[in-house]
């Protein structure tokens, strides 16, 4: 670990030369380099040793602070938490916890007799590995230590005997359960993210090298054209199918998945017809442990099943239309990842159809384009989210856990941020929130560092430089008032013509620090304004 940090620091010093506050690689490029070249080295093996050790955290934080300053082109005194927020780079603690949670997620996807898989708790999903321990002594992965409520019970008993008895009792009760291993510690990190232990399974045997890929069994099409054109072509196609379909030998099926934003429940819907006269709709409630992606796959799999159950002797073509490109793309590859079950199950259906010489087509149709079948499938999926009965086929999906891990990381970061004392007074007024992705548009390094300096109030302007003993007076010579970010951006007469020009260009009626630093529009204004005025740069001070 010491070595890893040393390695990472060395790489940092190599990369650091690529950029300073004035020129060099852009903020985005430096951020990318930090994550790819430094973090990846430093974080090697985190799941093996991470246990909230503060002294180790400090070392990582020190490296991160150096890097953040380089990435943002910030001053040494810039508040650290603000730099992390601005660069969308989480504090090491948040990062480590996320790494450990992701590691647990990976363990869930290992095959049953993988050496790591056999060392986690028996009850860790999705398999039982037969690891029975003395659970009175050891803490299971999804168990919380509770030892506080024992002490209050017998406070009013006085006799000596009882007192001795009590002492003994307390001794036994307060003995802490042992944590079995680091693996148990890591897996416990995600226990509270799982609403149930019925987790999506990944199976090695489903991916035998000789198993056929779906593309060889099904004609899978995703149009490269835009939504409008694809919709028109789709209408024409369906018309053609219907013209030739007097004998109902073609089955036409639309599928959809949907999420109810109020209840977080997922629904799947299938619309089945041969002629748009006699129609059938099917709905499922999949519970709240999945993502739309899973619901879409679920619906497609059901489409195959329904087609099979409704097939006639003369059926020769099945058309399945889904509006989810992600789901269709997932079916095209058979990797050991989320959604693998559907690849396997659809493969089995496809083979059955093939034996009957029935052709299969799976195509993407754009959603919300007035395609009747798609609208009806959408309706059926929405209805699914409102059904009382949750289908026993539902489970907790890997995609769901992945999203939960991201959410939990952000919550932790937010907690650290809101408790932090190093937000920076000036920065704090903009009420920024932690996020995983940075959203600034790419601008020259110098413009970005000036932007960040103005945002934190630490940079090349007199109100800041004045902090040093016997330096500039902090007065703007032209306006004769205090020169601080606010003055430079909103009031300084020297730049009023530039300011007014860009204000019109960017269609901003009103200017305030909050508008400028908290909105996308304001940010565009600032980048342009900084570029033209050259404020908050070293050159401007000379
Ligand atoms: Zn001025």
Ligand 1 midpoint to CA 255 (Å): 63
Longest dimension (CA), the chain: 97
Ligand 1 midpoint to CA 495 (Å): 8
Ligand 1 midpoint to CA 301 (Å): 67
| pLDDT per residue as tens digits for the range 317-343 | 999 999 999 999 999 987 888 999 999
pLDDT at 119: 87
Determine if residue 311 is left, alpha or beta; phi over 0 gives left, psi from -120 to 50 gives alpha, anything else beta: beta
Residues 529, 508: contact at Cβ < 8 Å? no
Ligand 1 midpoint to CA 354 (Å): 79
Ligand 1 midpoint to CA 23 (Å): 26
Distance in angstroms (rounded) separating the CA atoms of residues 317 and 320: 10
Q: What is the mean pLDDT of residues 435-443?
A: 86
Ligand 1 midpoint to CA 486 (Å): 10
Q: What is the mean pLDDT of residues 182-209?
A: 86
Q: Show the 3-state SS of 154-214.
A: CCCCCCHHHHHHHHHHHHHHHCCCEECCHHHHHHHCCHHHCCCCCECCCCHHHHCCCCCCH
Distance in angstroms (rounded) separating the CA atoms of residues 71 and 90: 14
pLDDT at 171: 54
| pLDDT per residue as tens digits for the range 447-470 | 999 999 999 999 998 888 887 776
pLDDT at 173 over 60: no
Ligand 1 midpoint to CA 475 (Å): 8
Q: What is the mean pLDDT of residues 21-26?
A: 78
For 206-394, give the CATH class: alpha beta
What DSSP assignment string belongs to 98-129? HHHHHHHHHHHTS-TT-TTGGGS-TTSTT---
Confidence of residue 441 (pLDDT cuts 50, 70, 90): confident
Ligand 1 midpoint to CA 490 (Å): 9
CB atoms within 10 A of CB 380: 25
Ligand 1 midpoint to CA 525 (Å): 19
Strand partners, 266: 259, 287
CB atoms within 10 A of CB 105: 19
pLDDT at 137: 80
CA distances from 367 to 213, 236, 362, 378, 445 (A): 27, 17, 15, 9, 41
Ligand 1 midpoint to CA 458 (Å): 18
Ligand 1 midpoint to CA 484 (Å): 9
Distance in angstroms (rounded) separating the CA atoms of residues 61 and 262: 39
pLDDT at 105: 94
Ligand 1 midpoint to CA 26 (Å): 29
Distance in angstroms (rounded) separating the CA atoms of residues 416 and 408: 12
Confidence of residue 20 (pLDDT cuts 50, 70, 90): confident
| pLDDT per residue as tens digits for the range 57-114 | 999 999 999 999 999 999 989 999 999 999 999 999 999 999 999 999 999 998 888 8
CA distances from 130 to 123, 408, 497 (A): 9, 30, 76
Confidence of residue 169 (pLDDT cuts 50, 70, 90): low
pLDDT at 5: 86
Ligand 1 midpoint to CA 444 (Å): 25
Ligand 1 midpoint to CA 430 (Å): 23
Ligand 1 midpoint to CA 193 (Å): 54
Is the pLDDT higher at 43 or at 130? 43
Q: What angle do CA 464, 467, 471 make, to 5 degrees?
A: 100
Ligand 1 midpoint to CA 70 (Å): 29
pLDDT at 212: 81
Ligand 1 midpoint to CA 482 (Å): 8
Ligand 1 midpoint to CA 505 (Å): 23
pLDDT at 261 over 90: yes
- Calculate helix-pair angle for 340-355, 325-332, nearest 10 degrees: 70
pLDDT at 141: 86
Ligand 1 midpoint to CA 524 (Å): 22
pLDDT at 167: 57
pLDDT at 170: 54
Structure tokens at 91: 């504090």
| Boundaries of every domain in the chain | 1-199+396-438, 206-394, 460-541
Helices (H), 17-159: 27-33, 40-42, 46-49, 54-72, 80-87, 92-108
With the C-alpha atoms ordered 87, 91, 94, 98, is the resulting torsion angle positive or negative? positive
Ligand 1 midpoint to CA 496 (Å): 9
Identify the helix (H) or strand (E) that includes residue 541. helix 538-541
Residues 388, 284: contact at Cβ < 8 Å? no
Ligand 1 midpoint to CA 199 (Å): 63
Q: What is the mean pLDDT of residues 234-246?
A: 93
Ligand 1 midpoint to CA 175 (Å): 68
Ligand 1 midpoint to CA 466 (Å): 16
| Bond before 311 cis per omega within 30 degrees | no
CA distances from 158 to 49, 151, 169, 216, 352 (A): 47, 15, 15, 82, 79
| pLDDT per residue as tens digits for the range 110-165 | 888 888 888 888 888 888 877 788 877 888 888 876 644 444 444 444 555 555 55
Ligand 1 midpoint to CA 491 (Å): 7
Residues with Cβ within 8 Å of residue 328, at least 6 apart in sequence: 220, 222, 300, 322, 362, 364
Determine if residue 52 is left, alpha or beta; phi over 0 gives left, psi from -120 to 50 gives alpha, anything else beta: left
| pLDDT per residue as tens digits for the range 496-511 | 999 999 999 998 888 9
What pTM value is reported for the model?
0.83
Ligand 1 midpoint to CA 527 (Å): 19
Ligand 1 midpoint to CA 394 (Å): 65
Summary mean pLDDT of the chain: 89
Ligand 1 midpoint to CA 79 (Å): 26
Ligand 1 midpoint to CA 534 (Å): 14
pLDDT at 365 over 90: yes
Ligand 1 midpoint to CA 488 (Å): 6
Residues 361, 318: contact at Cβ < 8 Å? yes
Share of the chain above pLDDT 90, in %: 59
Q: Hey, is 486 helix, strand or coil?
A: helix
Ligand 1 midpoint to CA 209 (Å): 72
pLDDT at 155: 45
pLDDT at 213: 85
Residues 508, 515: contact at Cβ < 8 Å? yes
Helices (H), 282-420: 292-310, 325-332, 340-355, 372-386, 398-419
- 169 by Cβ neighbours in 10 Å (0-12 / 13-18 / 19+) ranks as middle
């Amino acid at each position: 670990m010491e070595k890893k940090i040393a390695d990472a620091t060395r790489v940092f010093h190599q990369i650091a030369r690529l950029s300073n506050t004035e020129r060099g690689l852009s903020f985005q490029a430096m951020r990318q380099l930090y994550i790819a070249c430094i973090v990846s080295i430093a974080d090697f093996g985190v799941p093996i040793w991470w246990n909230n050790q503060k002294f180790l955290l400090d070392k990582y934080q020190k490296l991160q602070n150096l890097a953040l300053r380089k990435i943002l082109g910030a001053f040494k005194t810039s508040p650290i938490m603000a730099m992390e927020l601005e660069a969308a780079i989480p504090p090491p603690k948040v990062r480590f916890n996320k790494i450990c949670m992701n590691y647990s997620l990976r363990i869930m996807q290992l095959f049953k007799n993988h050496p790591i898989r056999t060392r986690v708790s028996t009850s860790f999903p999705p398999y039982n590995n037969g690891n029975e321990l003395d659970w009175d002594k050891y803490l299971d992965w999804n168990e919380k230590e509770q030892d506080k409520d024992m002490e209050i019970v017998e406070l009013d008993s006085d006799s000596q005997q009882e007192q001795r008895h009590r002492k003994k009792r307390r001794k036994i009760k307060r003995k802490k359960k042992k944590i079995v291993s680091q693996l148990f510690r890591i897996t416990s990190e995600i226990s509270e993210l799982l609403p149930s232990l019925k987790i999506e399974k990944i199976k090695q045997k489903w991916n035998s090298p000789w198993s056929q890929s779906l593309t060889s069994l099904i004609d899978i099409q995703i149009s490269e054209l835009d939504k409008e054109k694809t919709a028109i072509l789709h209408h024409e196609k369906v018309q053609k199918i219907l013209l030739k379909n007097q004998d109902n030998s073609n089955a036409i099926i639309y599928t959809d998945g949907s999420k109810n934003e109020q209840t977080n429940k997922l629904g799947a819907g299938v619309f089945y017809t041969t002629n748009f006269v006699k129609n059938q709709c099917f709905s499922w409630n999949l519970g709240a442990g999945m993502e739309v992606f899973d619901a879409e796959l679920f619906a497609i799999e059901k489409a195959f099943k329904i087609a099979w159950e409704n097939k006639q002797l003369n059926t020769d073509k099945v058309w399945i239309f889904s509006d989810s490109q992600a789901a269709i793309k997932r079916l095209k590859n058979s990797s050991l990842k989320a959604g693998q079950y559907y690849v396997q199950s659809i493969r089995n259906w496809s083979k059955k159809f093939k034996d009957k010489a029935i052709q299969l087509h799976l195509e993407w149709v754009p959603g919300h384009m007035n395609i009747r079948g798609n609208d009806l499938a959408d309706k059926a999926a929405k209805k699914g989210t409102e059904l009382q009965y949750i289908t026993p086929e539902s489970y907790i999906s890997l995609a769901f856990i992945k999203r939960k891990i991201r959410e939990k990381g952000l919550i932790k970061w937010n907690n650290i941020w809101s408790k932090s004392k190093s937000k920076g007074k000036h920065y704090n007024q903009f009420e920024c929130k932690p996020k995983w992705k940075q959203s600034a548009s790419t601008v020259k390094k110098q413009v970005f560092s000036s932007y960040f300096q103005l945002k934190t109030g630490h940079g090349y302007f007199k109100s800041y430089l004045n902090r040093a003993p016997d330096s500039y007076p902090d007065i703007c010579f032209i306006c004769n008032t205090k020169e601080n970010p606010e003055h430079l951006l909103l009031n300084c007469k020297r730049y009023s013509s530039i300011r007014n020009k860009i204000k019109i260009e960017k269609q901003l009626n009103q200017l305030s620090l909050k508008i400028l630093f908290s909105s996308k529009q304001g940010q565009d204004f600032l980048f342009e304004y900084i570029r033209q005025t050259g404020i908050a740069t070293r050159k401007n001070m000379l």
